[in-house]
A and B are shown apart, each in its own frame.
Chain A
Amino acid sequence: MNNSILEVSHLTGGYQANKPVLHDVSLHVNSNEIVGLIGLNGAGKSTTIKHILGLLDPMNGEIKVGGTTFADNKDGYRKQFSYIPETPLLYDELTLWEHLQLTALAYELGEEWEERAEVLLQEFRMTNMKKWFPGHFSKGMRQKVMIMCAFLVKPSLYIVDEPFVGLDPIGIQSFLDMMLEMKDKGAGVLMSTHILSTAERYCDRFIILHDGQIVMAGTMTELRNQIGNSAATLDDIYIEATRSGK
Chain B
Amino acid sequence: MMQLQTLWKERAGAFWNIAMRYFRLIGNSSFLFTLVLSLIFGAYYYSEILKVLPESFPGVAVITIVAAIVLVRTPLRFFLSEADLVFMLPAENRLQGYFRQSLIYSFALQVFTTVVVMTILAPLYQHEMAAGTGYYVFVICVLIVLKGANVLMKWMELHLPAHHSTIVYILVRLAVTIIFTYLLLIQAQWFYVALSAVLFVVTFFLMFLPLQRKYAIKWEKLLAMDEKQSMKFYRTANLFTDVPKLKQSVKQRRLLSSLGEKLLPSDSVYATLYQKAFIRSNEYFGIYFRLWLLGLAVVAFVPGLIGKVIGTALIIYLTATQLRTLYPHYQAHVMVKLYPVSDYEQGKAFRLMLLRLLGAQAVTFAALSFLLSFDVIVFLSVFLAGSVAVAVATSRAEVVRRSVS
A75 within 8 A of B: yes
Contact partner of A17 (CB less than 8 A), chosen from B1, B85, B164, is B164
One digit per residue, 1 when the CB lies within 8 angstroms of any chain B CB and 0 when it does not, for chain A 14-36 equals: 11110010000000000000000
Known A55-B219, A70-B216, A91-B81; judge A15-B89 contact (CB<8 A): no
Which A residues between 107 and 154 are near B, CB-CB below 8 angstroms? 107, 146, 149
Q: Which of A15, A83, A93, A105 contacts B91 (CB 8 A)?
A: A105
Interface residue from B85, B87, B161, B165 paired with A103 (Cβ < 8 Å): B87
Q: A17-B164, A56-B162 are in contact. Are A105 and B83 (CB under 8 A)?
A: no
Cβ of B100 < 8 Å from any Cβ of A? no
**Residue A89, interface by CB 8 Å:** yes
Q: In the complex, which residues 80-108 of chain A have their Cβ closer than 8 Å to any Cβ of chain B?
A: 83, 85, 89-91, 93-94, 98-99, 101-103, 105-107
Residue contact A101 to B2, C-beta cutoff 8 Å: yes
Does any Cβ of A come within 8 Å of B342's Cβ? no
| B86 lies within 8 A of A105 (CB) | no
The residue from B90, B161, B219 contacting A79, defined by CB atoms under 8 A apart:
B90
Q: List the B side residues contacting A59 at CB < 8 Å.
A: 161, 163
Give the number of chain A interface residues (Cβ < 8 Å). 36
Min CB distance A93 to B, Å, is: 7
B14 within 8 A of A: yes
Give Cα A85–Cα B84 distance, bound, in whole angstroms.
12
A15 pairs with B162, CB closer than 8 A: yes
Partner of A102, one of B2, B89, B94: B2
Q: Which residues of B contact A15 (CB under 8 A)?
A: 162-163
Least CB distance from B392 to A in Å reads: 42
* Interface residue? A54 (CB, 8 A): yes
Docked pose: A20 CA to B3 CA in angstroms:
39
Nearest A-chain residue to B93, judged by Cβ: A75
Contact of A75 among B2, B92, B165 (CB under 8 A): B92
The reply to whether B89 and A54 form a contact with Cβ atoms under 8 Å apart is yes
* Residue A185 lies at the interface, judged by CB distance under 8 Å to chain B: no
- Assess whether A74 is in contact with B162, with CB atoms less than 8 Å apart: no
CB neighbours (8 Å) of B297 from chain A are none
Best-surrounded residue of A78, A79, A93 (most CB of chain B within 10 A): A78
A7 at interface by CB-CB < 8 Å: no
Asked if A232 is at the interface (CB within 8 A of a chain B CB), the reply is no
Chain B minimum-CB-distance residue to A12: B163
Which of B1, B3, B92, B215 is A57 in contact with, Cβ under 8 Å? B215
Q: Flag if A57 contacts B161 (CB, 8 Å).
A: yes
Q: What is the CA–CA distance of A55 and B84 in the complex, to the nearest angstrom?
A: 12
B109 to chain A: which residues have CB within 8 Å? none
**Complex contacts, A90 vs chain B, CB 8 Å:** 83
Residues in A neighbouring B164, C-beta threshold 8 A:
17
Residues of B within 8 A of A146 (CB): 86
A98 to B215, CA, bound (A): 31
Closest chain-B Cβ to A87's Cβ sits at a distance in Å of 9
Other-chain contact of B86, A16, A54, A70, A149 (Cβ < 8 Å): A149
Q: Does B398 interact with chain A (Cβ within 8 Å)?
A: no
List chain A residues, Cβ under 8 A from B14.
93
Interface string of B170-189 (1 = CB under 8 A from A): 00000000000000000000
- Minimum CB–CB distance for A2 against chain B, Å: 25
- Set of chain A residues within 8 Å of B87, measured between Cβ atoms: 91, 99, 102-103, 106, 149
CB pair B163 A83 closer than 8 Å = no
- Which residues of chain A are near B161, meaning CB under 8 Å? 56-57, 59
Q: Are A78 and B90 in contact (CB under 8 A)?
A: yes
What residues on A are CB-neighbors of B215 within 8 Å? 57
| Chain B residues closer than 8 Å to A20, beta-carbon distance | 163
Cβ distance B220 to chain A, nearest Cβ, rounded Å: 6
* Interface flags, B1-12, vs A, CB<8A=1, else 0: 111100000000
Q: Complex formed: what's the CA distance from A13 to B164 in Å?
A: 11
**Minimum Cβ distance to chain A for residue B166 (Å):** 12
Kindly state the separation between the CA atoms of A71 and B215 in the bound complex, as whole angstroms: 8
Instruction: Report B-chain residues with C-beta under 8 Å of the C-beta of A74.
Output: 92-93, 216
Whether A85 touches B86, Cβ cut-off 8 Å, given contacts A74-B216, A105-B4, is: yes
**Which residues of chain A have C-beta atoms less than 8 A from B2's C-beta?**
94, 98, 101-102, 105
A215 contacts the other chain (CB 8 A): no
Judge if A176 is at the interface, Cβ distance under 8 Å.
Answer: no
CB-based contact B93/A106 at 8 Å: no
Q: CA separation between A94 and B216, bound complex, in Å? A: 27
- Report Cα–Cα, A88/B88, bound state, in Å: 15
Contact B218 A55 (CB under 8 A): yes
How near does chain B come to A181, taking the closest CB pair, in angstroms? Answer: 22
Q: Are A101 and B1 in contact (CB under 8 A)?
A: yes
* Contact assessment for B163 and A55 in the assembled complex, using a CB-CB cutoff below 8 Å: no
Task: Answer yes or no: B48 CB below 8 A from chain A CBs.
Answer: no
Asked if A53 is an interface residue, CB under 8 A from chain B, the answer is yes
Known: A57-B161, A91-B87. 16 other contacts (CB 8 A): A13-B163, A14-B162, A20-B163, A50-B220, A55-B219, A57-B162, A59-B163, A75-B93, A78-B89, A79-B90, A98-B2, A102-B2, A105-B2, A105-B3, A105-B4, A146-B86
User: What would 22 A/B residue contacts be, using CB atoms closer than 8 Å?
Assistant: A17-B163, A54-B89, A55-B219, A57-B161, A59-B163, A70-B216, A74-B92, A74-B93, A75-B92, A75-B94, A78-B89, A83-B86, A85-B85, A91-B83, A91-B87, A98-B2, A101-B1, A105-B2, A105-B91, A106-B90, A146-B86, A149-B87
Interface residues of B (CB under 8 A from A): 1-4, 14, 81-83, 85-94, 161-165, 215-216, 218-220
The 9 A-B residue pairs with the shortest CB-CB distance, nearest first, are A57-B161, A89-B83, A106-B91, A78-B90, A17-B163, A75-B93, A15-B162, A91-B83, A89-B82
